[in-house]
Structure 1
Amino acid sequence: MRKPSNRSRALLAVLAAAVLGVSGCDAAGGESAGPTAARKATRAPSPPAWDRSPASVAAVGDSITRGFDACAVLTDCPEVSWATGASTEVDSLAVRLLGAAKAAERSWNYAVTGARMADLPGQMAQAAAHRPELVTVMAGANDACRASISAMTSVADFRAEFKDAMSTLREELPRAQVYVASVPNLKRLWSEGRTNPLGKQVWKLGICPSMLGDADALDSAATLRRDTVQKRVEAYNEVLEEVCAKDERCRFDGGAVYDYRFGTDQLSHWDWFHPSVNGQARLAEIAYRAVTSGKA
C-alpha cells in the first residue's frame, strides 16, 4: 500500500482540526465556549426559596406591634400584638405559624411604643440575639407623627436608618427572613376617628399631633398640613419597598396595611387611632398571607 504523500498528510490534518472544531470540544476535551456554554456562564443563580413555615419569629417596631391602647388607655398590651401575641382573639402571626405552645417559646417582641426608624437598629440587634428565622418590621408612623411637619424624619434619613437596621440584622443573621409591613394610612385614621368625641379628647394628649392636631379644622392650612404628612407616609412606604426589594430574603406587604380600611371595629375605643383587638387580628391576617404566599 502506498504511503500518503506529505501533501495528503497535511490535508488530513486540516480536516481533522475542522472536525474537532465542529464537535464543540477543545484540545483538552473540555466544552467549548459556544452559545450554550455562554448562556450557562451568564445565567444568574436562582434566589433562595422563601420558607413559608419559619420555626421562630421576632418582632421590631412601634406601638402598633406592642398592642398600645388595645386593652386599656395609654397602655401597652403585647398579648394582643398582631406579630407575637398569645390572645386567641387575635391569632397572631407567631401563633398561626408555630402554634400556641411553640409561639410562647419561640417568639420575641422588641417593639417599643413611640419608636422611630432611628431606633430600629437597636431593636434588630436585640432580636438577632435569639437567631429568629423570621423578623417582622412595622415602623415609620412615629417618624410622621411629630409635633409639627418640620419635625418629621426626612425621607433621606428614613432610608439611611432602615438600611442601617437591615445591615445590623444581616451582620448577625444573613439568612433570616424579614417581613416588612407598610406604614398605615394616617389620614384615613384621622378621618375615621374624628367622629368620636372621646377619641378627639385623647388625641389632645399628644397622639400624632402633626396629623391629629386641631382635628376638626378643615381650613386650607390644616388641609395642607395633613396632606404633607400623608405624602411623607407614602414616601416612607416607597423606601420600605425599595430597600426590601434589594434583599433577597425580605418581603414587603405591597402596601396592604396602608390600603386596609380600618373601621370603628378595628380602632381602639380608647383613642380611635391605634388598632383595637379586632384591628390587631386583621393585621395578623395580612402578615400571614404575605409570609405564606407562594410568591412575593
Structure 2
Amino acid sequence: MAAGRRGRIRTAAGWTAAVALVSGVALSGCEAEPGGGPGAASRPSASPSPRPTPAWDTSPASVAAVGDSITRGFDACGLLVDCPEVSWATGGDARVNSLARRLVGPSALPARSWNLARSGARMAELPGQMAAAGAKKPGLVTVMAGANDACRDSTGLMTPVSSFRSSFEEAMRALRAVSPKSQVYVSSVPDLKRLWTTGRGSALGKQVWKLGVCRSMLGDADDVGAAAVERREEVYRRVVAYNEVLRDVCAKDRLCRYDGGAVFDYRFTGAQLSPWDWFHPSTDGQGRLAEIAYRIVTS
C-alpha cells in the first residue's frame, strides 16, 4: 500500500501530465510568411490539425473497479475477510461514500458499478480483470494494483519492473480492445514503508503481520539493523518504480488519469488503518481514498 522523500514521484509533475492530456488542441504546420507575391516561392500549406483530445467526462454514469485487496475492502470490517461494501471504489456504505456512490448515486450502485478486484492479485492478473471490466462498457474504470507485487515473502520475489510494465500495458490494451471509450483512473501504489512506520506501534498489528502480511516490508517489524533497513528501502524503491510505470503508461492513453502520486503521498494515521492488521485501510481510510479519487476524476 501508501519514509524517505528520495525518489518520490512528484504529484505536480504527474498531475500536469494528466491535465495536458485533457486540455487544448495542438496545431502543427507552417504559416505563410508575409510579403509573398507573384513569383515568390510557394510555401507548403498548413497541415490539418490532429483530432482533438476527447473531453474528460467528470460525471461518468458507471464505474468498474479492478485491482487487489484494497479495492475489495480487505480487513476493513473483519479479520482476514473482504468487505466490498466499504470499498473506496464501489462500496455502498455511506460512511465511506465511495467514488461510485458519489458519481452514480446510492440507488444506482447495483446496476452501475462492478467490483472485479481480487484480494492477493498482482499486476499480472490485471489484463484479465480489465477485459472483464471492459465487457461492462463502463464510463470509468478504477485501477489500484501493485502493492502485492512488492509485498512478497522476500525482496527477491518482487515483480521485476519490466514485467510490471508489460502487464500494465497489456491490461490497457485488453480494455481498449473491448471498450475504447471508457475512462481510466489509476491510483498510485501506497507507500508501504510509511505504513510499516505507522503500524508497528500496534502490538496486535505486529502479531497479525507474523501470519505473513507483506513479509518483504513487515517481516521482523522491530528489527532496525542494517540488513532490515536495506530490505525495506529496496521495497520502497520498487514501489516508486512501479508508480513511475503507472504514470508513464497512463500518460500514453488519451482517456487515462493517474493520481500524480496522491495515494503514495497520503499519510494514513492509525485511525485510517485496519484495527485488525494495521496495514490495509480501515473504513475511514477507504473514505480517504474515495475522496482522493473523486477529486481527481471530477476536476
> How would you bin the TM-score normalised by the shorter chain?
0.7 to 0.9
Amino acid at match of 2:201: T
Match of 1:173 in 2: 179
* Helix, strand or coil at the partner of 1:290: helix
Match of 1:245 in 2: 251
Match of 2:208 in 1: 202
Question: Following TM superposition, by how much is the alpha carbon of 1:22 offset from its aligned partner in structure 2, in angstroms?
Answer: 4.1
Match of 2:290 in 1: 284
Match of 2:72 in 1: 66
CA deviations on 1:96-137 (whole Å, 9 max, x unpaired) are 001111122100000000000001011112112211110000
Question: Following TM superposition, by how much is the alpha carbon of 1:34 offset from its aligned partner in structure 2, in angstroms?
Answer: 4.6
CA distance in 2, matches of 1:54, 1:92: 14
Moved more, 42-51 or 245-254: 42-51
* Helix, strand or coil at the partner of 2:184: strand
CA distance in 2, matches of 1:89, 1:119: 30
Change in Cα spacing, 1:222 to 1:91, as seen in structure 2 (3 Å) is same
**Any conservation in 1 of the 2:98–2:290 contact (CA below 8 Å)?**
yes
User: Are 1:46 and 2:52 an aligned pair?
Assistant: yes
Question: Following TM superposition, by how much is the alpha carbon of 1:210 offset from its aligned partner in structure 2, in angstroms?
Answer: 0.1
User: Are 1:233 and 2:255 an aligned pair?
Assistant: no
* Helix, strand or coil at the partner of 2:114: strand
* Structure 2: runs of 5 or more not aligned: 1-35
Question: Following TM superposition, by how much is the alpha carbon of 1:65 offset from its aligned partner in structure 2, in angstroms?
Answer: 0.1
**Any conservation in 1 of the 2:58–2:297 contact (CA below 8 Å)?**
yes
Amino acid at match of 1:270: W
CA deviations on 1:37-79 (whole Å, 9 max, x unpaired) are 42xx153332110011111100000000000000000000000
User: Are 1:117 and 2:123 an aligned pair?
Assistant: yes
* Helix, strand or coil at the partner of 1:153: coil
Match of 1:259 in 2: 265
* Helix, strand or coil at the partner of 1:167: helix
Question: Following TM superposition, by how much is the alpha carbon of 1:172 offset from its aligned partner in structure 2, in angstroms?
Answer: 0.4
CA distance in 1, matches of 2:236, 2:128: 27
Amino acid at match of 1:172: V
Question: Following TM superposition, by how much is the alpha carbon of 1:94 offset from its aligned partner in structure 2, in angstroms?
Answer: 0.2
Rg larger in 1 or in 2?
Answer: 1
Amino acid at match of 1:199: G
Match of 1:90 in 2: 96
* Helix, strand or coil at the partner of 2:56: coil
Question: Following TM superposition, by how much is the alpha carbon of 1:197 offset from its aligned partner in structure 2, in angstroms?
Answer: 0.2
* Percent identity for Structure 1 against Structure 2: 65
Question: Following superposition of structure 1 onto structure 2, how do residues 90-239 of structure 1 map, counting pairs within 5 Å?
Answer: 90-239=96-245
**Any conservation in 1 of the 2:135–2:179 contact (CA below 8 Å)?**
no
* Helix, strand or coil at the partner of 1:192: helix
Amino acid at match of 2:168: F
Structure in which a larger fraction of residues adopt helix: 1
Q: How much is the aligned-residue C-alpha RMSD, in angstroms?
A: 1.6
Question: Following superposition of structure 1 onto structure 2, how do residues 267-278 of structure 1 map, counting pairs within 5 Å?
Answer: 267-278=273-284
* Structure 1: runs of 5 or more not aligned: 1-20, 24-31
Output the TM-score relative to the length of structure 2: 0.86
CA distance in 2, matches of 1:232, 1:42: 43
CA distance in 2, matches of 1:212, 1:115: 19
CA distance in 2, matches of 1:144, 1:254: 20
CA distance in 1, matches of 2:131, 2:77: 29
* Helix, strand or coil at the partner of 2:249: helix
Change in Cα spacing, 1:280 to 1:34, as seen in structure 2 (3 Å) is same
CA distance in 1, matches of 2:106, 2:74: 22
* Helix, strand or coil at the partner of 1:111: coil
- Equivalenced residues, count: 263
Structure possessing the higher relative contact order (Cα contacts under 8 Å, 6 or more residues apart): 2
Output the TM-score relative to the length of structure 1: 0.86
